[in-house]
Structure 1
Amino acid sequence: MKTVLIYSGGLDSTVLLYSLHRAGHELLTLSVNYGQRHSKELDAAAAITTQLGIEHRVVDLTTLTPLLANSSLTDVDIAVPEGHYAEETMKATVVPNRNMILLSVAAGWAISMKADSIAYAAHSGDHAIYPDCRNEFAEAMDHAIRLADWHEVHLDRPFVNKTKADIVKLGAELDVPFEQTWSCYQGGAIHCGRCGTCIERREAFYLAGVPDPTPYADNAPSVETMVSNDWRL
């Protein structure tokens, strides 16, 4: 099966990359530069796909950045929220219509390459915060993509019912180089350990019982402190 994977270089999409690679998919990987402050994830994606010998393309959509306003990921004047994912604070990290844009670009490439599917790593923990990770959205996009051309391509979401901890467990089984992946929304030299995606990442390793090889900033609370203080949702 030929698959276009929307690949950020983050933990979830890297586990999906390794899973599809192990399953024998012919993979084409697509990363998108939409002006995200954590563009270090694009470097991680390039390095990991090079190691695996998998084709990787980066699409430059930075001309869209001014149109994707009111998000802390694309506007440096908006602070990245710290703490656990919660509806009101984490709305600041929503990039308007991001997944539809990414999926549309991936669909064009998939159709032109006569691929069978497009895959992305949305998981169960994404649904509450990100509207474009909900099942209803993905089902509508799958239907639209199937109708977009005479060559039918479907949308694959194998992690849709998995937790982040489930994904970490699978990644450990697949020998994923977690230390090479990038999650932090701050985009600093190392993971801050305090933003929502860092906390979600750290908690996933803790709950999965898998050692976390990620270096975090010195002022990041310990994962034991996070759990004892009931930072979990």
Structure 2
Amino acid sequence: MKAVSILSGGLDSTVATMIAKEEYDEVTAITFNYGQKAFKREVSAAKKICEILGIKHVIINLEFVKLFNKGSLITDEELPKIKIEELNTEKAFETMKAVWVPARNLIFLSIASGFAEAYEMDRVIIGINKEEGQTFPDNRIEFIEAFNNALKYGTLKDIKVEAPLYDKSKEEIVKIGHELEKKYGEVLRYTYSCYKDNGKDFLHCGECESCMRRKRAFMLAKVEDKTEYLTN
């Protein structure tokens, strides 16, 4: 069986792609350019990860998403900062709303499903997880189940979306990735989680919500965090 994996270059999508590499005969990774601030760094990470895993990599441009002009990931609005102790509070809902890009995962899954149908693939892999599902509604298994139901009518091939990490915390995701590194070598240090472009590949700001979740995950997993942060 063949799979296409949505790979942003971040922890979740990378570990999901590693799992797909284990389970499918052929994996192709897709990185979307939707006008996000960190695209240049995300694509560098994705290319490096695909090189390590020995899988194909495709970039798909979605310039129209910038027309939505909403969310600090794709606009000139300042990205919110958050403290580790605020990640499971109302503050996290505020930061979620600030970075929300309308229908982003819905768009990603639709295009990836079309790609899968066009290239005779069987599965679409996405790295949604339990932790971010607490604030992001499109990171929940209910979203995947609903989308799979739509796929029954939206494609002529039996394509399904799989979310191997939907019930996992970031801590668990780091542990899974670290275990898979025993086979593939260092991968996690080349992932890119930051919402910003800090002028250098793999350099994280250390202040945005995504960086904070990354820091906490490595700390709780008791796995050495080799990430370079501007702010510790």
The TM-score normalised by the length of structure 1 is 0.89
Does the residue aligned with 2:51 lie in a helix, a strand or coil?
helix
**What SS class does the counterpart of residue 174 from structure 2 fall into?**
helix
2:208 is equivalent to residue 199 of structure 1: no
Q: CA–CA distance in 2 between the matches of 1:139 and 1:113?
A: 23
Q: How does 1:48-87 map to 2 (within 5 A)?
A: 48-67=49-68, 69-76=69-76, 78-83=77-82, 84-85=86-87, 86-87=92-93
Task: Indicate the percent of aligned positions where both proteins have the same amino acid.
Answer: 37
Look up the match of 2:34. Answer: 34
1:134 and 2:140 aligned: yes
Matches within 5 A, 1:84-99: 84-85=86-87, 86-99=92-105
Q: Which structure shows the bigger proportion of residues in helix conformation?
A: 2
Q: What is the match of residue 226 of structure 1?
A: none
Residue 149 (structure 1) aligns with: 155
- Choose the corresponding residue for 1:174, options 176, 180, 202: 180
1:185 match = 195
Kindly report the root-mean-square deviation, in angstroms, between the aligned alpha carbons of the 2 structures: 1.4
Q: Can you list the C-alpha shifts for 1:179-233, whole angstroms capped at 9, x where unaligned?
A: 111011022132111110000000000111101000111x33xxxxxxxxxxxxx
Q: Deviations over 1:20-63 (max 9, x none)?
A: 21234410111100000011111111122123321111001113
What corresponds to 1:159 in structure 2?
A: 165
CA distance in 1, matches of 2:63, 2:135: 24
After TM superposition, the structure 1 stretch with the greater mean CA deviation from structure 2, 30-39 or 188-197, is 188-197
Alignment of structure 1 residues 214-229 onto 2, 5 Å: 214-217=227-230, 219-220=231-232
How far off its partner does 1:147 sit?
Answer: 2.1
Q: Which runs of 4+ in 1 moved over 6 A?
A: none
Whether 1:8 aligns to 2:21 is no
CA distance in 1, matches of 2:25, 2:98: 36
Q: TM-score, normalised by structure 2?
A: 0.89
Preserved contact between residue 30 and residue 59 of structure 1 (Cα < 8 Å): yes
Q: Secondary structure at the match of 2:111?
A: helix
Comparing 48-57 with 177-186, greater Cα deviation is found at: 48-57
Distance 1:75 1:197, change over 3 A: same
Spell out, residue by residue over 1:89-132, the C-alpha distance to the aligned partner (whole angstroms, 9 max, x if none). 33101111000100011000101122111110100011122122
Distance 1:64 1:24, change over 3 A: closer
Q: Residues 114 and 155 of structure 2 are in contact (CA less than 8 Å); yes or no, is this contact kept in structure 1?
A: no
Which stretch of the first structure deviates more once superposed, 131-140 or 9-18?
131-140
- AA of the residue aligned to 1:65: K
User: What is the match of residue 213 of structure 1?
Assistant: 226
Structure 1 residue identity aligned to 2:2: K
Structure 1 residue 113 and structure 2 residue 116: aligned?
no
User: Once structures 1 and 2 are overlaid, which stretch shifts more, 151-160 or 141-150?
Assistant: 141-150
Q: Which runs of 5+ in 1 are unaligned?
A: 221-233
